[in-house]
Amino acid sequence: MKAAVFSEFGGPEVVHLAEVEPPVPGPGEVRIAVRAAAMNHLDLWVRRGLLPKTSMPHIGGSDVAGVVDAVGPGVEAVEPGTRVVVDPSVDYHWYDGVSTAFHLPRPEFRILGEHSQGGFAEHFVAPAANLVEIPEDVPFEAAAATSLASVTAWRGLMVRGGLRAGERVLITGASGGVSTLAIQIALLAGAEVFAVTSGEANVERVRGLGAHVVYDRLRTDWAKGVWLDSGKRGVDLAFDAVGQAVWAPCLRALAVRGRLVTYGATTGAAGDTEIRLVFWRQLSILGSTMGNPEDYRRVMSLVFRGKIKPIIHAVLPLEEARRAHEMLEEGAVFGKVVLKPGEP
């Protein structure tokens, strides 16, 4: 089968198309004929060698949708021909679904496409338990583009952040895949959305998603703008994956008893924290990443019902996987980039 592979860590130039042996599903697994696989910043970090336990040669891609074409021993509930999208987390036990207790992932926790071979290929193997059936009227591209991004946005905003109707929320990096979905989830929850992006074109696109107030970080002091535009109250919740470059202004933009939910650090991990601001305003700093199976199925049901929709910047053939990496590296993507293997 054809796959987008890299055999050493580095820039986009290490990614190339190769012929590899198709995977064979083991016990409890299925094989999927891939119809769409979406890019994430996770794919860049894996390719750069920033994350441990990456097997070589490696096929990236955690967001996968396609058709089941083979089942492994012990799989009875999944029929070949079923249209599915794949929950990319395995052995993820943060939340038991009953109490409000949070737990760390088990030591064997894996992300498909990071700790295993991924979906930037014609075929992909995943645990049968991770499959969610896609309705016939939902395109494969839409399912793949919302997978990891939507569950990350849902858990960060609704579970960790506890966003409520009538609250004010700040979403940074508003042109990204997670953020474009977070804006929609926040609006669905009844929140007032403040968003930060870069460039006049992106400002207009983010407004088009329904954000109430949008700032161009290249042209304005957006933290001051948030303060003034909120009636000098600040926002109740800030949702951020940009990290170091916006950490201090995110804290300044928070209201008394405000919450900052961080789910990434794309510009660096050394955030400058004014400690006196934290205790005087009684702020909370919360971490979040991905989500558990209940989170995943809940948010994907919103996608299937058309309540939230992915913003797809480009759909490229698998042969252009290197270009997809370049596009994400350049920061020129609004929403998601999706790769499509050739269909039989």
Q: What is the pLDDT of residue 52?
A: 66
How far separated are the first and last CA of the chain, in Å rounded? Answer: 12
Q: pTM of the prediction?
A: 0.89
- Which class for 8: exposed (0-12), middle (13-18), buried (19 or more C-beta within 10 A)? exposed
What does the pLDDT read at residue 271? 86
Domain with CATH 3.90.180.10 in the chain: 2-148+291-340, 162-287
CA-closest candidate to residue 184, choices 309, 39, 63, 289: 309
pLDDT band at residue 265, thresholds of 50, 70 and 90? confident
- Whether 103 has a pLDDT exceeding 90, the answer reads no
Which CATH number does 162-287 carry? Answer: 3.90.180.10
- Does residue 1 register a pLDDT over 80? yes
pLDDT tens track for 158-207? 999 999 999 999 999 998 889 999 999 999 999 999 999 999 999 999 99
Concatenated DSSP letters of 52-106: S---SSEE--SEEEEEEEEE-TT--S--TT-EEEE--EES--SB-SSSS-B-PPP
Question: What topology is assigned to 2-148+291-340 in CATH?
Answer: Quinone Oxidoreductase; Chain A, domain 1 (3.90.180)
Give the DSSP letter of residue 333: -
CB 74 within 8 A of CB 28: yes
At residue 343, the pLDDT reads: 55
Give the pLDDT band of residue 97 (cuts 50, 70, 90). Answer: very low
Tokens 């494969």 correspond to: 140
pLDDT tens-digit map of 315-333 = 999 999 999 999 998 888 8
What does the pLDDT read at residue 72?
Answer: 93
Structure confidence at residue 98 (pLDDT): 42
3-state secondary structure of 14: helix
Rounded to whole angstroms, the Cα distance separating 130 from 58 reads 21
**Residue 40 in contact with residue 178, Cβ under 8 Å?**
no
